[in-house]
Structure 1
Amino acid sequence: MEEPQIYALLGEWNSFKDYFKKDDQRAADLIEPFNLAGNTAIHIAARTDDPNLIRELLDILPEDSDRRKALREGNAHKNTLIHQVVISCENLDMVNTLLDYEMEKKLKQPGEENLLELVNDIGETPVYRAAKYGRLRMLKRMTRYVDNMEPHLYRNSDFASILHIAIIGHHFDVAMWLSKMEVIKNVVSAYGEDINEKVEPDENEGNESDKDENFRMSCLQLLSKMPSVFRSSNSQAGFVHNLIYDCLPNKGYDDEEDEDEDDVSRRGKEDLESGKNKVKKSFSPPAVSSTIYYVICKLVAKEWDSVKEIWKKKQKNMQAKEVADFLVRIDNSWRDNHGDGPRTEVVLPVIQPTNVAKTRKAFLEKTSSILKPVKCKDYTPLLLAASTGIIEIVEKIIDFHPDAVSHVQRNEENVLHITVKHRQKKIYKHLKKLKVLDGLGSQITSRHNRTLLHQVARMDYYDGGNQPGVVFQLQEELQWFEVVKKIVPSHYQMYCNVDKLTARELFDLEHSEMLEKAQEWIKGTAQSCSAVSVLVATVVFAAAYAVPGGTNDHGVPNLIHSPLFLFFTVMDVVGLATSLISVMMFLSILTSPFQMQEFHKSLPRKLTIGFTLLFISLTTTLLAFGSTILLTIWVENPKWSSSLIYSATFFPVTLFGLTQFPIVTFFEQFPIVRDISHRMKRLRKRVRKIIDIITMSKKPTRKRDYSKYL
């Protein structure tokens, strides 16, 4: 086989074919193992995407039994020839060639399965394999030869459904196409993939033999654990990214390429049969303009890979949203897995002297035990979507099934409990709009007697947050605790969980490690920044006595009447004042007690003011330096060299501003800035409502009250 292997590597397929034509012995080698993977020579030739070559190689075989063997026997993994075609060929006629060849030669024996029903070593049919690898056009072509989809719905090795495998591979175009089949609804609620989520151990959990049954996920549960395929996961994207995303057309980048040729011809016949009105409508100005816009965007995307990637991401987001629409409409898991046990009520708290060291030691010993995965069969799609922050799925489920908002697990965790402990603020804001926070916030879990505040205190679901630095991360946690505290009944604040800890005590214990890191971080930062501030103050103080241009005999600056000299004086004074105040801020941080509550407002505010003033002092120092250079080399007839010097003078200022631009986010820590921002948003909403009323562009909508479903 060395000679044909060389021909195959070099792509000399005519020589490859002629080699097997020479005699019957070589022709018989066509169905012998050609490489270590057990593929035959015909398997290798399928990579050419040439149906004629495959037909000629099959004709070379001397007997029909050999041709039948070539079509039906697989390689080392039992992948038949048509299994190989699914992943290695782009030409859809390859499928027609193999299926038609078997029919023409009458190679199928009575009682045998169709070529498309043969399975490999993990129980995948070619149709299933096409869905697994996202080959939508190949899948459409194969299903024309399929009368019954039942053999292709599941994989025999683990019974993962064809819709599950398409969603796992993020092939949402395939999932959308499969959703149009009536038979696919039978597999939507089937459980297909494992999930492991860490929670505390429970002695009442089932034994190991129950895992396989309880760890399976439905299609909607699986989609609810994929936040990256929805646009809500793009919250950290920049302004330019979002602008490009919004400007791109809704039609996908690959829509024309993935369209089946027969679908194009069938659509063309429908257009011809629809008559002149249809033709006129298809060539209306809006349709033409949208087509031109699509073509322009396609050309731009071909030239700019970044635009192409954004477009493909948008296409995937829209397809995932459509799949979620289909799955939400037929999912009723929130009814089947609803906890119907007695509700846990508030009792008198356990009041006892607190031994901090003993309590912390017992708590750490308990939390260091081995964690077990939760039974995700109890986690409905609504709870999973709330845990991952997929607002699109949460909105759809509550909109189609309003009663799902009152669903609780068997341990009485509801959607608000899941939202709070996973810090999903978008989901929290949506639930707040639905007026259901009061009803959901008063529920207590039955397993560990946790209130909503106990859920906030937990760190086992904390992912680090979005704030820069551990100080601002701890502040964000304290702010989240205070936000949730407002919707919890006041008498819940003294309620103890199963460990005899109130929510505040649990919060302090869980965040003790973060507090230590925040203390070390803020001390080191304050010391370093105070040294820089002192250095800046020294420089600008010295610059005030060594003015550019010197002074006359009376001590008056020679360039006092120049506008640039006034600019230099203002920048120097501002730099000195801001650097000294920043030193005071950083010194006040170093003398603070560094208690937990200090990180809620006091310390982050001082750190923010110090950072801001230090930034201003450095900027004004650079501007004072630039004005000094300009005053020194000022000439009445500037040449290109002096212009170049002017540009180089202000280059450090521009570069420093660009590198430090993210520091602007620290302004959001000021209460006055947050208050102004909040008031501006409210004003903008009111102005928009007034405009809508005046122009009558928006019809009044009736909002559904979801609080009655609790």
Structure 2
Amino acid sequence: MRKVVHKQALDLIRYLWEQVILLDDETISCQIGKPWPLIFTAAERGNLDFLTILIRLYPDLIFKVDQNTYSIFHIAILNRHEDIFKMIYQIGSIKNVITIYKDGEGNNMLHLAARVLQSPSRLNVIPGAALQLQHELLWFEEVKKVVQPRHIEEKNIHGKTPGALFIEQHKEMMKEGEHWMRDTADSCMLVATLIATVVFAAAFTVPGGNMQDEGTPVFVERIEFKIFAISDAISLVASASSLLTFLSIRTSRYAERDFLWSLPNRLIIGLTTLFISIVAMMVAFVATFFLVFRKNLHQYSIPVAVVASLPVIFFIWQHYRLFLDMINSTYTSRSLFKPGKSPLFSKRVKPKVA
């Protein structure tokens, strides 16, 4: 029902706008309201469908600016609306005209991307300071691809380049992100160390003991023992890898660019190998139980296997949300700025300075 109402509203907007654009430019400006606040309010709120309808029928809207000399793309950057900003990839060389706009303080488009997002509702969508900083860096790097090379090191009236402004604006976020990364790494390092200690000791105290004459394990031929040996080795390697990964996070220099890829990627690898080590350790425990108590306590095999799976389930329940957020923020979010398939214009638009 909601989709039907939304479609009907868009059809009504399209019909009304088709009637408005039949008027002259001055009358159109008066109808919308000087200096074009309607489209800038839509850009601020992220109303992509509304803007698409207006721009397709009246392409000159993309050149309009507000009292701060901000186009709809500048406002989209300030409010971090990816869907609106990536329309800039569909206007071709016209974007070179729009990217030169500056506000009264000499801030270009990249300076705006360097500012910290002010809206709490938009910022809190992303959990954790580290992931928020990663998202801000992703925006900064994306806008850098659009602006002209000379704008990257261009200073505003306060003598600050976009890079310097980004570091200044995100100083507190970087401190919070570093603190969160260190605490997470410390907690996971402790778990990985305990697992590595246990499985390492288990490798030399094999279930059933060894034969006195040859020193080989008593149950070496049994399938349960082979499962135990393989699982124990996997758990040891995975826990050691996890420990070293979290150690690299702990000793990182925590530069702002490390939060874009290096640190989140290490955390994902660390959590993945830690999960593998826990699963392998539980498999080794169940295999040992079947091996040692296969005769006397065989009826308890299923309950023991169920109980052994509880730590794995508990770990997933506690960390799956963090893991999914890290995956989404590190890998999936890189497709946020991929241009849409539907063209913005049905015909070639000629540049026209506002």
Q: TM-score range by the shorter chain?
A: 0.7 to 0.9
Given the superposition, is the C-alpha separation of residues 547 and 482 from structure 1 closer, same or farther in structure 2, using an over 3 Å criterion?
same
Matched-pair contact (CA < 8 Å) for 2:290–2:301: no
CA distance in 2, matches of 1:437, 1:625: 65
1:574 aligns with 2:216: no
- Superposed displacement of residue 437, structure 1: 6.7
Q: 2:184 aligns with which of 525, 545, 548?
A: 525
CA distance in 2, matches of 1:572, 1:377: 72
- Of all paired residues, the percent bearing the same amino acid is 29
CA distance in 2, matches of 1:642, 1:446: 72
CA distance in 2, matches of 1:392, 1:430: 12
Aligned AA for 1:704? S
- Alignment-derived partner of residue 43 in structure 1: none
Q: 1:471 aligns with which of 130, 133, 137?
A: 130
- Could you list the per-position Cα deviations for residues 511-530 of structure 1 after superposition, in whole angstroms to 9, with x for gaps in the alignment? 11111111222222222222
Matched-pair contact (CA < 8 Å) for 2:46–2:81: yes
- Alignment-derived partner of residue 323 in structure 1: 9
Matched-pair contact (CA < 8 Å) for 2:117–2:123: no
- Superposed displacement of residue 532, structure 1: 1.8
- Superposed displacement of residue 453, structure 1: 0.3
Q: Secondary structure at the match of 1:419?
A: helix
Matched-pair contact (CA < 8 Å) for 2:96–2:147: no
- Could you list the per-position Cα deviations for residues 434-485 of structure 1 after superposition, in whole angstroms to 9, with x for gaps in the alignment? 4367235423234222211011011253532644421222122112111110
Q: 1:504 aligns with which of 155, 163, 171?
A: 163
Q: After TM superposition, which residue ranges in structure 1, 4 or more long, deviate above 4 angstroms? A: 331-338, 376-379, 635-639, 667-671
- Superposed displacement of residue 548, structure 1: 2.6
Matched-pair contact (CA < 8 Å) for 2:40–2:66: no
Matched-pair contact (CA < 8 Å) for 2:63–2:71: yes
Matched-pair contact (CA < 8 Å) for 1:324–1:393: yes
TM-score w.r.t. the length of structure 2 is 0.81
CA distance in 2, matches of 1:503, 1:523: 28
- Alignment-derived partner of residue 77 in structure 1: none
Given the superposition, is the C-alpha separation of residues 540 and 482 from structure 1 closer, same or farther in structure 2, using an over 3 Å criterion?
same
- Could you list the per-position Cα deviations for residues 367-393 of structure 1 after superposition, in whole angstroms to 9, with x for gaps in the alignment? xxxxxxxxx974633322222223222
Aligned AA for 2:137? L
Which has the larger displacement, 584-593 or 645-654?
Answer: 645-654
Matched-pair contact (CA < 8 Å) for 2:114–2:162: yes
- Superposed displacement of residue 424, structure 1: 1.1
After superposition, residues 298-337 of structure 1 pair within 5 angstroms as 315-331=1-17
Q: Secondary structure at the match of 2:350?
A: helix
- Alignment-derived partner of residue 459 in structure 1: 116
CA distance in 2, matches of 1:603, 1:665: 14
- Alignment-derived partner of residue 195 in structure 2: 536
CA distance in 2, matches of 1:619, 1:432: 46
- Alignment-derived partner of residue 633 in structure 1: 293
Matched-pair contact (CA < 8 Å) for 2:116–2:136: no
Matched-pair contact (CA < 8 Å) for 1:564–1:631: yes
Matched-pair contact (CA < 8 Å) for 1:629–1:649: no
- Could you list the per-position Cα deviations for residues 141-171 of structure 1 after superposition, in whole angstroms to 9, with x for gaps in the alignment? xxxxxxxxxxxxxxxxxxxxxxxxxxxxxxx
After superposition, residues 347-386 of structure 1 pair within 5 angstroms as 378=35, 380-386=37-43
- Alignment-derived partner of residue 61 in structure 2: 404
- Alignment-derived partner of residue 560 in structure 1: 220
Aligned AA for 2:189? S
Q: Secondary structure at the match of 1:486?
A: helix
1:391 aligns with 2:33: no
Aligned AA for 1:576? L
Q: Which structure is richer in relative contact order (CA contacts within 8 A, separation 6 or more)?
A: 2
Aligned AA for 1:330? L
After superposition, residues 633-652 of structure 1 pair within 5 angstroms as 633-635=293-295, 639=299, 641-652=300-311
Q: 2:142 aligns with which of 470, 483, 507?
A: 483
Matched-pair contact (CA < 8 Å) for 2:286–2:304: no
1:608 aligns with 2:268: yes
- Alignment-derived partner of residue 433 in structure 1: 90
Given the superposition, is the C-alpha separation of residues 336 and 565 from structure 1 closer, same or farther in structure 2, using an over 3 Å criterion?
farther
CA distance in 2, matches of 1:439, 1:456: 17
After superposition, residues 606-685 of structure 1 pair within 5 angstroms as 606-635=266-295, 639=299, 641-657=300-316, 659-662=318-321, 663-667=323-327
Matched-pair contact (CA < 8 Å) for 1:325–1:396: no
CA distance in 2, matches of 1:335, 1:547: 88
Which is helix-richer, 1 or 2? 2
Matched-pair contact (CA < 8 Å) for 1:335–1:407: no
- Could you list the per-position Cα deviations for residues 213-237 of structure 1 after superposition, in whole angstroms to 9, with x for gaps in the alignment? xxxxxxxxxxxxxxxxxxxxxxxxx
Aligned AA for 2:159? K
CA distance in 1, matches of 2:218, 2:277: 26
Q: Secondary structure at the match of 1:626?
A: helix
Aligned AA for 1:390? N
Aligned AA for 2:52? E
Instruction: Give the root-mean-square deviation of aligned CA atoms.
Output: 3.6
After superposition, residues 208-287 of structure 1 pair within 5 angstroms as none
- Superposed displacement of residue 432, structure 1: 2.1
Q: Secondary structure at the match of 2:164?
A: helix
- Superposed displacement of residue 396, structure 1: 2.1
Matched-pair contact (CA < 8 Å) for 1:608–1:669: no
- Alignment-derived partner of residue 73 in structure 2: 416
CA distance in 2, matches of 1:702, 1:475: 29
Aligned AA for 2:12? F
Given the superposition, is the C-alpha separation of residues 609 and 377 from structure 1 closer, same or farther in structure 2, using an over 3 Å criterion?
farther
- In the alignment, structure 1 segments of 5+ residues that lack a partner are 1-314, 339-375, 686-700
TM-score w.r.t. the length of structure 1 is 0.43
Matched-pair contact (CA < 8 Å) for 1:536–1:618: yes
